[in-house]
């Protein structure tokens, strides 16, 4: 866990330094947020919903509707007591993704802008808790895809909030891991 926080702080420091320089070259946004991850399918049969956090950096060329977002997410969901009574196990998923973001055209004075997002990434799934030896593999890293939609609410030229939902499908060994994080966060940049 300590390594995750060091990585997040390093990413934030590099972003804080690079955003003013990159902003002069085009529309760059730093995003930070969090919300609830909904476990779906077979994954949802054994695990409850849980919290997640997200940090990202996106580049949107001026006058072009498609941008690129690189983001990282941390999810943690617990084993469902109805399925695994008395078992203390959480699934911790850390992912990094490269996404394309399509923003719908709207008038310049419009404060709410809808968008679609889709991408690919790597997902590390690790089980943590007191009962790891009860049929749970400790850790694996797999390829995954994601897609969803969201709204960007402009508060000013350089500040806004976003609300989005993205379906993630992780191609785990055995069965796929499916989840739907619903995120609310802030964005800094144009």
pLDDT tens for 120-178 read: 999 999 988 877 665 566 789 999 999 999 999 999 989 999 999 999 999 988 889 99
Residue 72 CA to residue 183 CA, distance in Å, equals 12
- Among residues 21, 85, 31, 82, the alpha carbon closest in space to that of 56 is found at 31
pLDDT of residue 17: 41
DSSP 5-49: HHHHHHHHHHHHHHHHHHHTTSEEEEEEEEEEEEEEHHHHHHB--
pLDDT (tens digit per residue) in 87-114? 788 999 999 999 999 988 778 788 999 9
Number of domains in the chain: 1
- In angstroms, the Cα distances linking 166 to 36, 67, 149 are 11, 17, 7
Q: What percent of the chain has pLDDT over 70?
A: 83
Q: What CATH number does the domain containing 123 carry?
A: 2.40.160.20
User: Using an 8 Å Cβ cutoff, are 115 and 100 in contact?
Assistant: no
At a CB cut-off of 8 Å and minimum separation 6, what does 28 contact? 19, 22, 57, 58, 59, 60, 189, 190
User: Would strands 177-189 and 159-170 be described as parallel, antiparallel, or unpaired?
Assistant: antiparallel
Residue 134 vs residue 185, higher pLDDT: 185
User: Using an 8 Å Cβ cutoff, are 28 and 183 in contact?
Assistant: no
Domain that holds residue 141: 2-189
User: Using an 8 Å Cβ cutoff, are 57 and 21 in contact?
Assistant: no
Rounded to 5°, angle at Cα 59 from 188 and 118: 105
Q: Which residues pair with 120 in a beta bridge?
A: 98, 145
Instruction: Report whether pLDDT(11) > 60.
Output: no
> What is the model's pTM?
0.81
Token reading at 78: 């617990």
């Amino acid at each position: 866990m300590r390594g995750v926080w060091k990585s997040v702080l390093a990413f934030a420091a590099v972003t804080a330094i690079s955003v003013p320089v990159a902003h002069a070259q085009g529309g760059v946004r730093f995003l930070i947020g969090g919300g609830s991850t909904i476990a779906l399918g077979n994954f949802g049969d054994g695990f409850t919903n849980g919290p997640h956090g997200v940090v990202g950096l996106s580049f949107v060329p001026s006058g072009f509707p498609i941008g690129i977002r690189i983001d990282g997410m941390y999810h943690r969901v617990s084993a469902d007591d109805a399925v695994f009574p008395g078992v203390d196990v959480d699934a911790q998923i850390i992912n990094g993704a490269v996404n394309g973001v399509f923003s719908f055209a709207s008038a310049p004075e419009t404060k709410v802008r809808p968008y679609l997002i889709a991408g690919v990434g790597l997902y590390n799934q690790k089980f943590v808790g007191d009962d790891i030896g009860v049929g749970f593999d400790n850790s694996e890293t797999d390829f995954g895809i994601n897609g969803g939609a969201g709204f960007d609410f402009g508060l000013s030229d350089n500040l806004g909030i976003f609300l989005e939902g993205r379906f993630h499908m992780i191609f785990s060994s055995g069965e796929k891991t499916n989840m739907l994080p619903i995120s609310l966060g802030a964005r800094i940049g144009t």
